[in-house]
Amino acid sequence: MSIGKVTAESALEPTAPAGSAPSAHRAPLLFVLAVSALLFGFVSGLRWPSNWATTHYLFDYSNGFIKRGFTGEVLSYVAGDSLSYGAIAALSFAIFAIWLSMLFLRLRGLAKIDNRIWIITAVVLISPGFVFQVRNIGYLDHIGLIIVFLCFFLPANLSGLVARTGLCGLMIIIHEAFFLMFFPLVILEFTIRAMLTGGRGRIAATWIAVAVLAALTFVVAQTTLP
């Protein structure tokens, strides 16, 4: 008799218990719920970027290397000294849209595992935290968040750790506070993925990345105009 024959592949294949997730026909409704929450949260916090926020895009290296001057230096090569408030505001909204697109792209992958992620997303998007992010359009924070999500798309191997270290180094040059704001999230995500695949050596190597980027943060933080 061949009843109940189990192979290694079938034993490892994940099976969801009955009723553990909404049925497939409800997935579009949950996505619409998340998009509706996005529109509500966005409209609730929408405002034009403040003058102080857009000023951060004007710092450059014309008087020497300084902290938070990288973004302005890049823009000065692209647009020269002719950047207007309207151009910076449009760029700020575009950066926010890119970050938001990356967020939904990541959530779409998670929704293939369990589409209830859209319910959690809807709750987050109407929270004060997301509304605050909308009100922060114009600051450099969303560039940091884009780099964080780029790190999330990298593999959890040693080459991925090296790439993360490089991207986070760029993030710190953009704004030294990102070392405390966003870098821990990148390390946490990498560590969890490495643990799930038995990568103790990779986890140990993260301490090297932490030390290197901490030193970079210290150096960048000292670079101010006299």
Average pLDDT over residues 143-150: 96
Domain ranges of the chain: 25-139, 140-226
Asked whether residue 7 carries a pLDDT value surpassing 80, the answer given is no
Q: Which residues pair with 139 in a beta bridge?
A: 137
Distance of CA 40 to the CA centre of its chain: 21
CA dihedral of residues 76, 79, 83, 89 (deg, nearest 10): -100
Residues 84-119 pLDDT 10s? 899 999 999 999 999 999 999 989 888 888 888 999
pLDDT of residue 23: 57
Q: What is the spatial distance between Cα 108 and Cα 94, in angstroms, rounded to a whole number?
A: 21
d(CA 223, CA 34): 43
Q: Are 59 and 66 in contact (CB under 8 A)?
A: yes
Tokens read off for 132? 């605050």
Token pair belonging to 50: 């403040």
Q: What pLDDT is stored for residue 17 in this prediction?
A: 46
Largest CA distance in the chain: 85
Mean pLDDT (whole number) for 142-164: 95
In our burial notation (b when 16+ CB lie closer than 10 A, e otherwise), range 144-182 reads bbbbbbbbbebebeeebbeebbebbbebbbbbbbbbeeb
Residues 14-47: tens digit of each pLDDT: 444 444 445 566 778 899 999 999 999 999 999 9
pTM recorded for the entire structure = 0.83
Nearest CA to 186 out of 148, 140, 146 is that of: 148
User: According to the model, what pLDDT value does residue 215 have?
Assistant: 96
pLDDT-derived band at 1, boundaries 50, 70, 90? very low
DSSP readout, 157-200?
A: SHHHHHHHHHHHHHHHHH-TTHHHHTHHHHHHHHHHHHHHTT-H
State the average pLDDT over residues 70-86.
87
Average pLDDT over residues 186-205: 87
